Structures are given as C-alpha cells and as structure tokens.
C-alpha cells in the first residue's frame, strides 16, 4: 500500500484549472511551431510540432552540440587545430570562408558554425572529430536517440537538402534545451552578433539578438525547401523559454513570428522550480542498513510552467513506494515520486523520487535486530 506524505504548506501559484483565463496562442504564418519552458521541458504551444520537415541550418545545432560533448569528454579541445580539407573548402551555401590547407582552431570553427552558419566550418569540424562527415552524422543520430528526438534523422552536418534528412519543431526545442542545460560553457556563443574571419565580418542572422535584449540564442536556418526557420531562446525575470518556428517566408517573418511566440509565453506563463536537482526533499527510513535513513530528492530540477493569471493552491507531495526500504540502497534507486497537485487533487506534473546517496548493508547485529523489528511490525500491522 502506498504511503502519502504532504510536504510544506500550500504554495500559492497559478492553477491549471484556471487555464481558461489564458488566451489561445497566436496563429503564426509558418508551417509548424513550438513553445517550450526550458526549466521543466513543458510544451506550452504545439502546432504541428512533430511534423517532419527539412531543418536546413538548424542542423548545425546538433553539429555544435556533438562537438561540445566531445570537449566535455576530453576528446577535443578548443585550442586544437583543424586541417581544412578540399571538401570543406568547396562546400557551397553559407560559408565561414576558411581556405583549403589552413589550420583553424576548434573555437573559431565553433563560432563559424554558430554565428556565421558556415557549411565549410561544419564539414571541417565533422571530419576532424569523426574522420568523415558520414561517420559524424552517425554520431549526431546517436545523440538524437539519447535525447529522444523521435522525428529527427541527419545525413550531414550542415542541413544541406536531402530527402532523408529531417527534424521537427518539437525535436529542435528539445535539442535547444539540451544545449542550454548541458553545455552552459558554450552557450554564450549563440548570443554573439557577429564574427570576423579571413577579413570578412558576418552578422548573426538571428534578428532577435538585435531587437530583444532578453534573447540570447540560438540558430537560424534557410533553404528553398525549408523556408526560413528559427530556434530562439530568451530569459526574463529568471524564466527561460524556447521558441521554434519552421517554414516562414522571409527573414523578417521568422523573427516576427518567433517574437510573437516568446511574447505570448512570457506574458501568460510562469515557470517555477519547486525542488532543485540534488536537493534533499525528504529522509526515508532504511532497514538493515549502516544508516537509519537515506536522503531522497529528484534527479533533475522539479519544475512546472503554470498560467500566470489563474488562482488557486498547489501542493507538492511525496508518494513513497510501497514496502520497506531494505539496505543496501544504491544512489539513484527509485523510492517513490514527487507530485505537484492542483485544484481538485489533479496531478499537474510528477517526477521520480530517488536516493541521493548510497546506504550500505549494516553489520550482523543491525541486520538481525531490524529483522526482529520488521517481523513484529508486520505482525501487528
């Protein structure tokens, strides 16, 4: 039988039951779009967000993300020099204008990819990391699977048109969230407004970086087939939102439509973090262990995006899994779940409650004594 424990007093936050007070999202002149709360991953607006579409240069978000992960793993350094191949040099489309035979640092290539949307820089870095663009595309798809991007498949590092190369607005929002949360060290690159290489100054094509000081990323894309696309993120009063728009008809339109989406989210939703990753939410009794209790919490921030203009009480509560917790207990072991409960007892969101530490088995006498205590505990209910 499950045991229910209510934590803290009622928290006064907007109620999901008041969703009727939130106006419908704007209709955009685009093929598909998604608005996501970065803290919780909650999708606030979804218009054909799972539709598979050509992502154009939005692809380079995954190219730069894979490179950043390689740096985190110690297999790549920002100071590493990359030889520019003839294939990279000859690549058409948007370019960083690297020259064949040159050696360019990984850091400069990252800026060439993110700020200038350089196809040549993307291929050069892909070849350096994986030995070839095709192998690098396999690495991109492995990361896509890890992130649960069900409607994404890459065949190249640039977004060059290919019938088997596709993504979706929802998947791109999830990828952007991973970039923001998993690689904060490189996220500042996405806010750079211009980059000069080979004597050529090129501006970032994300017009919102100039129009809205709260916007600090991420990436544009354009081909004839894809139209004009944009993944943008902004942060206001501690709240970060991610907006993705696919298939507008101009640079101005993609900026305007994305701004509408961000404005809607910031005006009508609040993002709240109720428990931080690794924070002790509760101590849970442990039997036959070297310790009597184990610290329990959440493996990722427990957050929710809720309507601003609704009213009502929310309570966080812990539901412990049925049965006794017997040592040994591994760090990360499931102990129950954390819930956010709104009006009428409706569960708005939930997350696993896990052990934040390991508890080894106790000594002989501790195990024996607890066995006796458990026997009588179960005997008398």
Residue 139 has what pLDDT? Answer: 98
Residue 209 tokens, joined: 């970086």
pLDDT, tens only, 146-181: 999 999 999 999 999 999 999 999 999 999 999 999
Question: Please, are residues 248 and 234 in contact by the beta-carbon 8 Å criterion?
Answer: no
Residue 308 has what pLDDT? Answer: 85
Question: Please, are residues 353 and 291 in contact by the beta-carbon 8 Å criterion?
Answer: no
What are the structural domains of the chain?
3-14+274-379 (2.60.410.10), 30-248 (3.40.710.10)
Phi, psi of 333 (to 5 degrees): -65, 140
pLDDT band at 74 (very low <50, low <70, confident <90, very high): very high
Distance CA(258)–CA(207), nearest Å, equals 10
Give me the mean pLDDT over the 361-370 stretch: 92
Question: CB 307: neighbour CB atoms within 10 A?
Answer: 21
pLDDT, tens only, 273-286: 999 999 999 999 99
Distance CA(202)–CA(193), nearest Å, equals 9
Residue 273 tokens, joined: 């973090």
Residues of the chain with pLDDT > 70, as a percent, come to 93
Question: CB 300: neighbour CB atoms within 10 A?
Answer: 15
Give me the mean pLDDT over the 353-379 stretch: 92
Distance CA(264)–CA(276), nearest Å, equals 26
Is residue 101 packed enough to be buried (19+ CB in 10 Å), middle (13-18) or exposed (0-12)? exposed
Residue 5 has what pLDDT? Answer: 35
Integer angstrom CA distances of residue 237 from 44, 191, 251, 271, 299 = 18, 18, 28, 10, 25
**Between the CA atoms of 120, 122, 124 and 127, what dihedral angle is there, to the nearest 10 degrees?**
-140
Residue 282 tokens, joined: 């509760």
Residue 345 has what pLDDT? Answer: 84
Nearest alpha-carbon partner for 220 in 134, 159, 170: 159
Residue 16 has what pLDDT? Answer: 39
Residue 2 has what pLDDT? Answer: 37
Give the distance from CA 364 to its chain's centroid.
Answer: 46
Distance CA(307)–CA(300), nearest Å, equals 22
In the block, which residue shows the tokens 């969230």? 177
pLDDT, tens only, 180-210: 999 999 999 999 999 999 899 999 999 999 9
Residue 381 has what pLDDT? Answer: 66
Diameter of the chain measured on Cα atoms? 83
Residue 33 has what pLDDT? Answer: 98
Q: What DSSP line would sit under 54-91, residue for residue?
A: --GGGGHHHHHHHHHHHHHTTS--TT-EEEPPHHHHH-
Active-site positions? 57, 60, 117
Question: Please, are residues 181 and 15 in contact by the beta-carbon 8 Å criterion?
Answer: no
Eight-class DSSP state of 284: E
Q: Is the pLDDT of residue 9 over 70?
A: no
H helical segments located in 164-278: 169-182, 184-187, 208-211, 251-268
Nearest alpha-carbon partner for 59 in 103, 108, 107, 121: 121
229 upstream amide cis, omega within 30 of 0: no
Question: Please, are residues 219 and 228 in contact by the beta-carbon 8 Å criterion?
Answer: no
pLDDT, tens only, 327-338: 999 999 999 999
Residue 314 has what pLDDT? Answer: 76
SS3 readout for 192-231: CCEEEECCEEEECCCCHHHHCCCEEEEEEEEECCCEEEEE
Residue 311 has what pLDDT? Answer: 43
Question: Please, are residues 110 and 76 in contact by the beta-carbon 8 Å criterion?
Answer: no
Residue 360 tokens, joined: 């080894």
Residue 310 has what pLDDT? Answer: 62
Identify the weakest region by mean pLDDT among 6-20, 233-247, 297-311: 6-20
Question: Please, are residues 123 and 149 in contact by the beta-carbon 8 Å criterion?
Answer: no
Average pLDDT over the chain, rounded to an integer: 92
Q: Is the pLDDT of residue 64 over 50?
A: yes
Per the DSSP assignment, residues forming a β-bridge with 245 are 33, 230
364 upstream amide cis, omega within 30 of 0: no
């Amino acid at each position: 039988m499950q045991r229910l424990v209510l934590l803290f007093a009622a928290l006064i936050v907007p109620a999901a039951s008041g969703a009727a007070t939130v106006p419908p999202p704007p209709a955009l002149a685009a093929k598909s779009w998604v608005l996501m709360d970065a803290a919780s991953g909650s999708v606030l607006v979804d218009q054909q967000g799972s539709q598979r579409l050509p992502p154009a240069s939005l692809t380079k978000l995954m190219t730069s993300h894979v490179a950043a992960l390689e740096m985190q793993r110690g297999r790549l350094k920002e100071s590493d020099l990359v030889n520019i191949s003839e294939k990279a040099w000859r690549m058409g489309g948007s370019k960083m204008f690297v020259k064949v035979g040159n050696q360019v640092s990984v850091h400069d290539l990252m800026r060439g990819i993110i700020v200038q949307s350089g196809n040549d820089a993307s291929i050069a870095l892909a070849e350096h990391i994986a030995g070839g663009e095709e192998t690098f595309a396999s690495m991109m798809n492995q990361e896509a699977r890890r992130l649960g991007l069900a409607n994404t498949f890459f065949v190249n590092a640039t977004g060059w048109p290919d019938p088997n190369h596709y993504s979706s607005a929802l998947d791109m929002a999830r990828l952007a969230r991973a970039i923001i949360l998993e690689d904060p060290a490189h996220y500042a690159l996405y806010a750079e407004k211009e980059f000069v290489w080979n004597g050529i100054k090129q501006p970032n094509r994300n017009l919102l970086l100039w129009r809205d000081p709260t916007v600090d990323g991420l990436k544009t894309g354009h081909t004839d087939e894809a139209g004009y696309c944009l993944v943008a993120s902004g942060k206001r009063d501690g709240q970060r939102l991610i907006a993705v728009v696919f298939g507008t008809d101009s640079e101005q339109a993609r900026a305007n439509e994305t701004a509408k989406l961000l404005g809607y989210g910031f005006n009508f939703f609040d993002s709240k973090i109720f428990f931080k990753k690794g924070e002790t939410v509760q101590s849970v009794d442990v039997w036959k262990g070297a310790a009597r209790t184990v610290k329990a919490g959440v493996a990722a921030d427990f957050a929710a995006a809720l309507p601003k203009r609704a009213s009502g009480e929310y309570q966080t509560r812990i539901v412990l899994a049925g049965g006794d917790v017997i040592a040994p207990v591994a760090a990360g072991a499931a102990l129950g779940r954390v819930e956010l409960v709104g009006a009428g007892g409706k569960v708005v969101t939930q997350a696993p409650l896990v052990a934040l530490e390991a508890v080894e088995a106790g000594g002989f006498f501790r195990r024996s004594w607890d066995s006796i205590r458990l026997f009588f505990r179960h005997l008398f209910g």
